[in-house]
A and B are shown apart, each in its own frame.
Chain A
Amino acid sequence: MYKKLSMLTLILLLLIGVGGTLFGAPDGLEVMEKVYYRPSGDDMTADLEMIMTNSRGSTRERSITQYSIDTGDVDKKLMFFLAPADVKDTSFMSWSYDDARDDDQWIYLPALRRVKRISSDSKNDRFMGSDFTYDDLGERHPEEDRHTILREENFQGESCYVIENIPVGDDDAFSKTVVWIAKNKWIGLKREYYDDKGEVYKVLNIDEFKKIDGYWVITNMLMEDLERDHSTRLKMDNVEFDTGLTDSFFSERQMKRGPRR
C-alpha cells in the first residue's frame, strides 16, 4: 500500500515537474528577475508624501519632490524637502550602484548653506527615520536571495505568485521575506519580513498602483513595523516619466539650487 502510494506520488510529481517546464511556468528566480527588470523608464519625477505614525498615534509628515534617473549602472535620486517649513529646501541625493559598492549620499542644509556627504555604516539604514530601509526602496537584486514559489493565489483581485526569498548572505535584518507578485504586471503587492524566530515583524502593503506613461507605478504603500508599533505611509503624486533629466542634474550644485519647477 505504502509503496504503491509513494510510487504514484513520484509519478505525479514528475508529471507536474515536466509539465511545469513544458508549459513555461517560471521558477522563483525568474519571477523575481521579471520584477527587477520591469521597465521603469529612464528617469522619473514625483511628489512624495511621507506620513510616519508612532505607537502613540503621533504623526510626522514630510513632502518631498523627488527626481530619479537610471544611468545603467547607477541609480541616482535627488530629493527636495517642501515641508515641514523648518526643513524646506533641505535636499538629499543618493547614488546607488548596481555592483557591491556602498551608496553615496549627500545632504544640503540650507540653514548652514553647506553640502555634506553622509557616510554611515550605521547598522540601522532606515530611510529618513521611516520604516523603509534604503534596501526596501531600492530594488533588491534577485541574486541576493534564493527564491521558492510557495503557491499561487488571488490577492487583492490579482492572480499572484507567493514567493519565499531567503537571503544568501547574513547581512540582512530579516531571515526571509515572502512576497506576493502580480502575474503579468510583475509588481509586488505585499511583502512580509520574518525575523530569526520565524515571526513576521514588518509588513509592506501596496494600497494603490497605476499605469502611468506606460509603466506600472506604486503610488500608495504602507510599511508597518509590528515590533516597534510604528508605520510609514508613502504616497506618490504628479508622477512623470522620461522628462529628459540629465545625469548632470544630479549634482551638489543642483542640491543647493532647489527643485526644477
Chain B
Amino acid sequence: MNKMYQKIAQKPALVMLVIIGLTSLFIYGIGQNARIETDLDEYMPSDHPAFVFSDKAEEQFGIKDNVLLAIEHPESIFNPGTLEKIKSISEELPEQFDDIDEDDITSLYTAENITADEWSLIVESFYEEVPQSNAQIKKLQSAVEGNDMIHGRIVSTDGSATLIIAEIGEETFTDRFYADLQDFAASWEGPETVHIAGRPVVEGELTKLGPQDMARMAPLVLLVMTLLLLILLRSVRNTIINLLIVLFGTLTAFGLMTLLNIPIYTLSTMIPVMLTAIGVADGIHMHNSIVHIVHRKPDISRENLVEKTMEAMVRPVTMTSITTAVGFLALLTSDVLPVRYFGLFTALGIMMEMLMALILFPASIYFFGPPKQALKSKQAIQSKVTAAHKPSTISGRFGEKLLAHPKLVVTIAILAVALALLGTTRVWIDTSFLANFEDDSQVVKTDKFVNEHFGGTSSLNVILSSDEEDTFKQPEVLETMNELQMKIEKNNPLVGDSFALTDYMRRMHQVMHEDNPEYDKIPDSQELIAQYLLLYEMSGDPDNLNQVVDYDYMNANLTFQLKSDSSAVMEEVIAEIEPYIPQLAEYGVEVDYAGSGYKSLVFANLLMEGQIISLLLSFGIVALLLSLMFGSLWIGLAGTIPIAVTATVNFGTMGLLGIPLSSSTAIISAIAIGIGVDYAIHLIERYRFNRIRGVPTIQAAYETLEHTGRAIIYNAAAVMGGFAVLLVSVFPPNRQVGGLVALNMATSAIGTLTILLVVLVFIDRHSKIYSNKISTEEE
C-alpha cells in the first residue's frame, strides 16, 4: 500500500494531469447538471402513510398553499379608493398570473355575504360596483362587521387591513413568480401598503437567502482558515495542500452528485462543512508527521522522508478515513433521500481526501524537498523533544498534570457529560421557516403584521373521516367539532381561527332566524342540517362546501389558522385535539392531519429520528471497526469516547442554549463521528506506535500529546476559527452551523486529549495489550 502511494507520488505530472482531468470533469458536471432542489415535497418519502394520506386529503378538499396579499390603509380600508383596489387586484391577479384562476381568489370583493330578513335569504357580494357615498360605505362596513365568516378573517377587526388570498399549486411558486408578484404588489401601493405573506413566500425567501448567505460567507470561512493554517503550520506549501485536499474532496462530492443527476438539496450544503473539518485533519496529521521526522533527522533524503512518513501515516489516515466514511454510510439507513445522499457523498468525499492527503504530501516532498519551515524551527522543537521525558513544554506539563490526576479527569468528564445529558432532556424539536430570519427582517415583520390582524399565516388541516354516509350531517358530530374548535381557539393564543362545515351551519342557522345571535350554534336535527346544506347549494357557491366536506358527508376538513409556523406549535394544537378523539371515535369518526405544514412536521420528525438512529448505528460500527483495528474490545470502546462526548455535549448545549433541533442542526452532530473518529484513531495509533517501540507508558503518553496533540489542536483551531466566521452571518441558521461546528471541534479535541488519553493509559496499565506486542512486533 505504501509503495503504491509512493509510486504514484513520484509521477507529479501524472498526478497533476489526473487532478486537472477530474476537476474539469466535476466542474463540467456541476456546470451542466447542478440544480438546487427547494421543493420540500421532493425530499419527502412520498410512500410514507402520513404523506399518502395528506396528499389524498389535499386533493379531495382542494387544500393548497395560500399567498396572502395584505392591504393596509393608515386609517380604514372602507373608502372608495381602497375598495376599488381590492376589486381591481382580485380581477387583475388571475389576468396577470397564468397559474392563478379566478376561483383561486378570495377577497372582500369575491366573498359572498349570507344575510336574511324576515322573508328572504340573501346571498350576495359585499359589493360589485365600488360604493361611493358615505352612507353606502357605512352600510358595507356594518355588513362586514356583522359577518363572522369575513370579519377577522378577510377584513381585520379594526378595519385597517384586508386580505386577498390566492391559492396556488405546489409548483407555482418560483423565483420568477415571486419577483412578478412583488412588482405587482408594489404597483398598488399608496396610500395603502401591500404586504405579501404566506408559507410559499417564507419558503421562497428561505431557499434564496440560505445559499446566498453561504456563498457570501464561504470565501470568508476559507480565508480565515487559510490564515490560521499559515500561522499554525508556518508552511505555505502545506497550507495549500490542505486547501487542495478540502477543495478537491468537496468538488468530488458535488461533481459526482451532479454527474449522477442528483439535485443539490439544502442539506447538501452541510457536505463541505464535514469535508473541511475532516480534510484539514488529514492534512495536518500528515504535515505534523513530516515536520516531526525532519526534526529528528534534518539531513534525511527525500526518499527516506517519504518512506518514514508513509510508514507512520498510511495506517492511521486510512483507518480514520475508512471508519469515518463507514460512519457516514450508516446514514443510508435514513428514510429521507437527502440524508442518504448526504451520507453517501460525504463518504466519497472523505475517501478522495484520503487519497489526496496520501499522494500530495509525498509528491510535494519528491518535487520540492522537505518543507523549509520544518528545518528552520528545528532547534526549538529539538529541545522540546529531548526534554520529553522531563516535561518542560506546555504540552508536557499538561500531560504530567493530566496523568497525575486520572480520577479528577474522569470525574470532571463525567460531570460535564452528566450536565450535557441534563441539557439533552431539554432539547426541543422545532422546525420553523420563520425562525430562520432575523426578527427585524421584512419577512418576519410581514408575517407578524398578518398574524396580528388576521387568523394566522400557517394552517393545520384536521381531517375527520368515517365509514358511514351522512356522518357529518349528524348534529352531535358537528357539535363535537364545534366544541373542539371553540375550546382550542380560546385556549391557545397562537390559534387565530378555525374553519369547518360547522361555521357554515352556524351562520345559516343564525341567518334563517332573523340574524338572532341565539341561533349562532349547530342546528339540532339532521334534517335541518341537510336542508340548510341544500339551501346553501341552491343559493351559495356549492364549491365552497367541497373544501370542508366531501360528497357523501363521510369526510370533513377542519382548518386551524396558526399564528406561528413552528412545528412545536402545531404539535401543541395536535395535543389539544387528542382529548376529543375518543368522543369522535364513538361516532365512528377518525382523526388525521394534512397540509403542507403538517407534512413538514412529520418530515422533520422522520428526519431527526433517522439521523439519531443512524448516529447510534454509526457509533456501533465505529466501535466495532476500532476494536478490530486495535485488536482490543476495550481500546475499541475507549475510541468511541470522543464521539460520545462530542455528540452528548452537542445536544446538551443545544438544550441548554435553547437551540431547537431541526433538520440542519441535527445533521451537524454527524461531525462528532467525522472528527471524533479521526482524533481517537490518531491518538491511539500514536500511542501504540510509541508503545510497540518500547516507550514506557507515561513517556508514550507525553509523546503522543506532544505529537498528535499538536496536530489535533491545530486542526481544531483552524477549523473552529474558520467556522467561527459564520457567527457574524446575517442568516441565523448559518450562525448556528458555525457555532455548533466550532463547539464540536473543541469538544472532540478536549475529549480526545484528556479523557481518552487517561482511559487509554488506564487500559494499557491493566491489560498487557502492548507489553505483549512489544516483543512480537519489535523484532
Contact residues of A with B, CB < 8 Å?
52, 54, 56, 58-60, 81, 84, 86-87, 90, 92, 105, 107, 109-112, 114, 116-124, 126-129, 228
With an 8 A cutoff between CB atoms, is B691 at the interface?
A: no
Known contacts A92-B538, A128-B537, A118 near B528 by CB under 8 Å: no
CA of A118 to CA of B529 in the docked complex: distance in angstroms?
Answer: 17
Residues of chain A within 8 A (CB-CB) of B539 are 118, 120, 122
CA of A122 to CA of B125 in the docked complex: distance in angstroms?
Answer: 7
CA of A187 to CA of B561 in the docked complex: distance in angstroms?
Answer: 52
Let me know if B123 and A107 touch, CB within 8 A: no
Let me know if A58 and B551 touch, CB within 8 A: yes
Let me know if B530 and A117 touch, CB within 8 A: no
Let me know if A118 and B550 touch, CB within 8 A: no
Known contacts A86-B470, A86-B473, A121 near B125 by CB under 8 Å: yes
CA of A127 to CA of B122 in the docked complex: distance in angstroms?
Answer: 16
Residues of chain A within 8 A (CB-CB) of B538 are 92, 105, 107, 118, 127-129
Ranked nearest first, the 6 interchain pairs of A and B with the lowest CB-CB distance are: A129-B542, A129-B537, A117-B120, A86-B530, A58-B551, A111-B528
With an 8 A cutoff between CB atoms, is B552 at the interface?
A: yes
Known contacts A56-B60, A111-B525, A120 near B123 by CB under 8 Å: yes
Q: How far does the Cβ of B408 sit from chain A's closest Cβ, in whole Å? A: 71
Q: Which residue of A lies closest to B537 (CB)?
A: A129
CB 8 Å contact bits of B549-560 with A (1 = contact, 0 = none): 011100000000
Let me know if B119 and A117 touch, CB within 8 A: yes
Let me know if A119 and B120 touch, CB within 8 A: yes
Residues of chain B within 8 A (CB-CB) of A60 are 551-552
Let me know if B125 and A118 touch, CB within 8 A: no
Q: Which residue of A lies closest to B527 (CB)?
A: A111
Q: How far does the Cβ of A229 sit from chain B's closest Cβ, in whole Å? A: 11
Q: How far does the Cβ of A94 sit from chain B's closest Cβ, in whole Å? A: 10
Would you mind naming 17 contact pairs between A and B with Cβ atoms under 8 Å apart? A52-B551, A58-B551, A58-B552, A59-B551, A84-B530, A90-B531, A107-B121, A107-B538, A111-B523, A111-B525, A111-B528, A117-B120, A118-B120, A122-B539, A124-B540, A126-B542, A128-B537
Residues of chain B within 8 A (CB-CB) of A90 are 531, 534
Known contacts A56-B551, A112-B512, A116-B121, A87 near B534 by CB under 8 Å: yes
CB 8 Å contact bits of B43-85 with A (1 = contact, 0 = none): 0000000000000000010000000000000000000000000
Q: Which residue of A lies closest to B535 (CB)?
A: A107
Residues of chain A within 8 A (CB-CB) of B527 are 86-87, 110-111
Q: How far does the Cβ of B263 sit from chain A's closest Cβ, in whole Å? A: 32
Residues of chain A within 8 A (CB-CB) of B121 are 107, 116-119
Residues of chain A within 8 A (CB-CB) of B551 are 52, 54, 56, 58-60
Known contacts A87-B531, A128-B534, A122 near B120 by CB under 8 Å: no
With an 8 A cutoff between CB atoms, is B541 at the interface?
A: yes
Q: How far does the Cβ of B125 sit from chain A's closest Cβ, in whole Å? A: 6
With an 8 A cutoff between CB atoms, is B148 at the interface?
A: no
Let me know if B530 and A118 touch, CB within 8 A: no
Categorize the interface residue count of chain B: 35 or more
CA of A164 to CA of B123 in the docked complex: distance in angstroms?
Answer: 33
Residues of chain B within 8 A (CB-CB) of A110 are 527, 531
Let me know if B530 and A116 touch, CB within 8 A: no
Let me know if B124 and A121 touch, CB within 8 A: yes
CA of A123 to CA of B543 in the docked complex: distance in angstroms?
Answer: 12
Residues of chain B within 8 A (CB-CB) of A120 are 122-124, 539-540
Q: How far does the Cβ of B128 sit from chain A's closest Cβ, in whole Å? A: 8
Residues of chain B within 8 A (CB-CB) of A112 are 512, 528, 531
With an 8 A cutoff between CB atoms, is B568 at the interface?
A: no
Residues of chain A within 8 A (CB-CB) of B116 are 116
Residues of chain B within 8 A (CB-CB) of A56 are 60, 550-551
CA of A52 to CA of B546 in the docked complex: distance in angstroms?
Answer: 14
Q: Which of A58, A111, A124 has a CB less than 8 Å from the CB of B531? A: A111
Q: Which residue of A lies closest to B56 (CB)?
A: A56
With an 8 A cutoff between CB atoms, is B590 at the interface?
A: no
Q: How far does the Cβ of B191 sit from chain A's closest Cβ, in whole Å? A: 30
Q: How far does the Cβ of B346 sit from chain A's closest Cβ, in whole Å? A: 44
CA of A206 to CA of B687 in the docked complex: distance in angstroms?
Answer: 92
CA of A232 to CA of B122 in the docked complex: distance in angstroms?
Answer: 26
Q: How far does the Cβ of B55 sit from chain A's closest Cβ, in whole Å? A: 14
Q: Which residue of A lies closest to B110 (CB)?
A: A123
Let me know if B531 and A86 touch, CB within 8 A: yes
CA of A120 to CA of B550 in the docked complex: distance in angstroms?
Answer: 24
CA of A118 to CA of B551 in the docked complex: distance in angstroms?
Answer: 24
Q: Which residue of A lies closest to B525 (CB)?
A: A111
CA of A120 to CA of B537 in the docked complex: distance in angstroms?
Answer: 12
Residues of chain B within 8 A (CB-CB) of A87 are 527, 530-531, 534
Q: How far does the Cβ of A160 sit from chain B's closest Cβ, in whole Å? A: 33
Q: Which residue of B lies closest to A81 (CB)?
A: B534
Let me know if A122 and B531 touch, CB within 8 A: no
Q: Which residue of B lies closest to A88 (CB)?
A: B527
CA of A60 to CA of B534 in the docked complex: distance in angstroms?
Answer: 12
Known contacts A86-B526, A110-B531, A111-B527, A119 near B122 by CB under 8 Å: yes
